[in-house]
């Protein structure tokens, strides 16, 4: 059982700095399996084969599971392409660097 973040059914809600150093390319801070994207919850971890996979939502990014994480070895499996995941993570970074601008940028205005 994970001890960080809020437990929501099969999803864990975390803050950006729980998963990233907030420097450079954020998606690179995730321990992701390169080239592997799984829109639906993977049945098992591609690294250790463990079946305890949990969705992870990062506050201020995508509303819902942003990526999957193995409970056993903490390796992450992307739900969106790397570039898309990076865009979402950058949204949360904006919240951190500009706390006065707290709020969501409408997706249509986000480039
Ligand atoms: Zn694993």
* SS3 (DSSP) at 90: helix
Whole-model pTM: value is: 0.76
For the chain, which residues make up each domain, given as ranges? 6-99
Q: What is the pLDDT of residues 13-50, one digit of tens each?
A: 999 988 888 778 999 989 888 889 999 999 999 899 99
Ligand 1 centroid – CA 104 distance (Å): 33
The torsion defined by the Cα of 110, 101, 104 and 81, in degrees rounded to 10, comes to 50
Ligand 1 centroid – CA 41 distance (Å): 13
């Amino acid at each position: 059982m994970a001890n960080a973040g809020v437990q929501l059914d099969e999803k864990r809600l975390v803050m950006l700095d729980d998963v990233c150093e907030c420097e450079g390319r954020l998606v690179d801070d995730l321990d992701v399996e390169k080239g592997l994207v799984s829109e639906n919850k993977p049945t098992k971890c591609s690294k250790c084969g463990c079946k305890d996979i949990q969705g992870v939502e990062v506050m201020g990014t995508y509303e819902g599971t942003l990526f999957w994480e193995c409970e056993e070895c903490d390796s992450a499996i992307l739900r969106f392409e790397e570039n898309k995941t990076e865009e979402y993570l950058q949204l949360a970074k904006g919240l951190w660097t500009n706390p006065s601008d707290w709020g969501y940028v409408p997706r249509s205005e986000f480039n």
